[in-house]
Amino acid sequence: MSFGSDKSGGSDQKREQSQFVGSELFQRTYREGMALVEEAATYLDGPGREHSKDLPRSIALAYATESMRLTTRLMQVAAWLLVQKAVHEGDMSEDEALSEKYELGGRELARGKGIKGSELLPDALKDLVGRSESIFSRIDRLDAQLRSEKPTELTSLEAQQERVEAFFRDSLDPNTTKH
């Protein structure tokens, strides 16, 4: 994942990881992920516990399954975010953070389909599940990009605008030969 660097290779990949964990994107994702972990814990320990008591047995099974999947998904997200933060703060090396040990886990569980009755769960739980799936997917993409041998370049709005301007400049120039 590149944030403004056109270079690639091992040392550049490490530099890109450092740039990423210091970026506003990472900071926003970190805050969002940790807030969601806290919100889910508060819900499951409070209102969620009360909601689950009122559910019919078949829906209670769906509640237990989805709340377990929610917790697992968010714990994987939190662990990944904390590893990246440790790199940024110098508490962990980039090589160690990129080791298989710290790769985002729980993909099969996180991506699994809801079980029968999950559509009847309390709206608050369904909302938490949906948001946790969203942030897990983003973290999964970020993890894959950080680990890729060939970093994916994320271009800035300025670079995109320059390419658009160059396209139109070349297209509108009467001296340009068209093939």
- The count of domains in the chain is 1
Angle at 55 between CA 131 and CA 61, to 5 degrees: 70
Give the residue, 69 or 160, on which the prediction is more confident.
69
User: Residue 170 contacts by C-beta under 8 Å, 6 or more apart in sequence?
Assistant: 176
Do the domain assignments include residue 177? no
pLDDT at 52: 92
pLDDT at 151: 45
Do the domain assignments include residue 15? yes
Q: How confident is the model at residue 152 (pLDDT cuts 50, 70, 90)?
A: very low
Residue 97: strand pairing partners? none
Would you say 13 and 151 are in contact if contact means Cβ atoms under 8 Å apart? yes
Average of pLDDT values for 59-78?
A: 94
pLDDT tens for each residue of 96-127 = 998 889 999 888 877 777 788 889 999 999 99
Do the domain assignments include residue 179? no
Tell me, what CATH number does 23's domain have?
Answer: 1.10.8.930
pLDDT tens for each residue of 15-59 = 556 567 778 888 999 999 999 999 999 999 999 999 999 899 989
- Kindly write down the DSSP assignment for every residue of 167-179, as one continuous string: HHHHHH-TTSPP-
Q: What is the rounded average pLDDT for all residues in the chain?
A: 81
Would you say 1 and 146 are in contact if contact means Cβ atoms under 8 Å apart? yes
pLDDT at 150: 44
Quote the domain boundaries for residue 26.
2-172
